[in-house]
């Protein structure tokens, strides 16, 4: 599945990031981290 957000295509490859709330997969080809990924998923 490939998503597109603000012209940025998100691929199937992910990296696992951790914070105080737990772990989350973030697309490997984007510059943002776990906090931005949580915002994208929740809003």
Q: Kindly give the residue spans of alpha helices, DSSP state H, lying in the chain.
A: 34-42
**Both tokens assigned to 16:** 């696992």
pTM summary value: 0.69
- What is the per-residue pLDDT for 2? 55
- What is the per-residue pLDDT for 41? 95
Domain holding 15, by residue range, is 3-42
Name the domain count of the chain. 1
Each residue of 1-43: pLDDT tens digit?
Answer: 455 665 556 568 999 999 999 999 999 999 999 999 999 999 9
- What is the per-residue pLDDT for 9? 60
């Amino acid at each position: 599945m490939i998503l597109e957000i603000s012209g940025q295509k998100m691929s199937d490859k992910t990296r696992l990031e951790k914070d105080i709330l737990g772990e989350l997969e973030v697309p490997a080809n984007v510059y943002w981290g776990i906090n931005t990924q949580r915002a994208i998923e929740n809003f």
